[in-house]
């Protein structure tokens, strides 16, 4: 898992060169921000997926600040935020709005463009949207954390099983050779 992640995530130098993240200055020199272990990657996934669903501008900057504060893997937290992009944001936020309306027990507006474009209705949208976004953020963060932990564990167990199988095969071929051909 570490080998694959090292190929995919940007290097510390690439992140230092980013003008938005560079505002954190010397805080970026913390080695915990670059560690690739199960705890750091799982927590970074939770941070990135939580911030991904928040309807705020500059999500990458917010994810970077939270990752630095919690001392988790910075590139992974920043990369996962980009799941919400201009293409995926409208359906994500509409789902969050519908969920918020359902939780609050209020009727939700359909796809009526007149309702959505009239700024007088925006205050009616904000409360259910924020509640829905917080619920979705929390669920995505929890799901991301658990998924990374389980996948990491599965990869480690699979690696150990393969290693044991290689050793069993190696030692079973050594034991089956005639004693006269064995070299000491």
pLDDT at 182: 52
Confidence of residue 90 (pLDDT cuts 50, 70, 90): confident
Of 15-29, 133-147, 158-172, highest mean pLDDT = 133-147
| 184 inside domain | no
Whether 104 contacts 131, CB under 8 Å:
yes
Q: Residue 181 domain-assigned? A: no
Q: List the domain range (segments joined by +) for residue 149.
A: 2-176
Phi/psi of residue 15, nearest 5 degrees: -70, -40
Q: Give the DSSP H or E segment for 165.
A: helix 122-176
Q: How far apart are CA 125 and CA 80, in angstroms?
A: 26
pLDDT of residue 72: 92
- Where residue 183 falls among pLDDT bands split at 50, 70, 90? low
Residue at 150 is within a domain = yes
> Would you say 137 and 52 are in contact if contact means Cβ atoms under 8 Å apart?
yes
Q: What is the mean pLDDT of residues 87-91?
A: 88
Name all contacts of 2-10 with Cβ < 8 Å and 24+ positions apart: 2/36, 5/36, 5/41, 5/76, 6/36, 9/73, 9/75, 9/76, 9/79, 10/75
pTM: 0.74
Residue 140's Cβ-side half-sphere holds a number of Cα atoms within 13 Å equal to 22
Mean pLDDT to the nearest integer, 121-139: 88
Work out how many domains the chain is built from and give that number.
Answer: 1
CB atoms within 10 A of CB 80: 24
Q: What percent of the chain has pLDDT over 90?
A: 34
CB-based contact 101:57 (threshold 8 Å): no
Is residue 156 included in any domain, yes or no? yes
């Amino acid at each position: 898992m570490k080998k694959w992640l090292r190929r995919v995530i940007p290097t510390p130098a690439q992140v230092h060169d980013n003008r938005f993240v560079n505002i954190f200055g010397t805080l970026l020199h913390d080695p915990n921000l670059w560690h690739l272990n199960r705890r750091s990657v799982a927590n970074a996934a939770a941070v990135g997926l939580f911030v991904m669903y928040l309807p705020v501008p500059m999500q990458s900057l917010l994810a970077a600040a939270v990752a630095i504060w919690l001392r988790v893997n910075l590139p992974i937290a920043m990369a996962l935020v980009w799941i919400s992009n201009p293409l995926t944001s409208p359906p994500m936020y509409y789902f969050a709005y519908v969920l918020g309306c359902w939780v609050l027990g209020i009727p939700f507006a359909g796809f009526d463009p007149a309702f959505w474009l009239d700024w007088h209705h925006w205050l009616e949208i904000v409360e259910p949207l924020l509640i829905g976004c917080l619920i979705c953020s929390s669920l995505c963060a929890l799901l991301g954390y658990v998924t990374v932990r389980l996948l990491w564990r599965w990869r480690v167990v699979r690696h150990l099983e393969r290693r044991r199988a290689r050793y069993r095969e190696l030692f079973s071929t050594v034991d089956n050779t005639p004693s006269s051909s064995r070299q000491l």
